[in-house]
Structure 1
Amino acid sequence: MPTENLIPNAAGTYENIANSTSGVGKHWQDVDDPIGTPDDNDTRVNTGNDGVGQIDTYSLPNHSEGSGTINSVTLHFRAKKDYVGAAKARAVIRTHASQHYGDQEAITTSYANYSNAWVVNPATSDPWTWDEVDDLEAGVTLEADASTWSYCTQVYVVVDYTPAPGRVRGYIIG
Structure 2
Amino acid sequence: MATELQRPTSTTLAGTYTIVGGASNTYEAIDEAVTDDADSLQKTGGTTRGEFGYTAFSVPAGSTINFVRIVLRGWNNGVGSNSQGAHVDINGTDYDSSTQNLSTTPTDYSFDWATNPATAAPWTVDEVNGVGTTGLDAMGHRFAGVGGSEVADFSQGWILVDYTPAAAGGPFPELFVPDSAMCPAEISAIPY
Bucket of the pairwise TM-score, normalised by the shorter protein: 0.7 to 0.9
Q: CA deviation at 1:129?
A: 2.3
Q: CA deviation at 1:120?
A: 0.7
Moved over 4 A (4+): none
Unaligned 5+ runs, structure 2: 131-135, 179-186, 188-192
Report the counterpart of residue 40 of structure 2 in structure 1: 44
**SS of aligned partner of 1:103:** strand
CA distance in 2, matches of 1:66, 1:33: 26
Q: CA deviation at 1:156?
A: 0.6
Alignment of 1:10 with 2:10, yes or no, is: yes
Cα RMSD over matched residues? Answer: 1.8
CA distance in 1, matches of 2:118, 2:60: 21
Q: CA deviation at 1:117?
A: 0.8
Alignment of 1:62 with 2:56, yes or no, is: yes
Unaligned 5+ runs, structure 1: none
**SS of aligned partner of 1:123:** coil
Indicate conservation of the 8 Å contact 1:95/1:132, yes or no. no
Q: CA deviation at 1:130?
A: 2.9
Residues 158 and 144 of structure 1: is their aligned pair in 2 closer, same or farther, counting only changes over 3 Å? same
Alignment of 1:140 with 2:141, yes or no, is: yes
Report the counterpart of residue 111 of structure 2 in structure 1: 116
**SS of aligned partner of 1:110:** coil
Structure with greater strand share of residues: 2
Residues 159 and 85 of structure 1: is their aligned pair in 2 closer, same or farther, counting only changes over 3 Å? same
Residue 7 of structure 1 aligns with an amino acid whose one-letter code is: R
Identity, % of aligned positions: 25
What is the TM-score when the length of structure 2 is the normalising length?
0.79
Aligned ranges 1:1-174 → 2 under 5 Å: 1-12=1-12, 14-21=13-20, 22-23=23-24, 26-34=25-33, 37-40=34-37, 42-48=38-44, 50-52=45-47, 54-64=48-58, 66-67=60-61, 68-135=63-130, 136=136, 137-142=138-143, 143-167=145-169, 169-173=174-178, 174=187
Indicate conservation of the 8 Å contact 2:58/2:129, yes or no. no
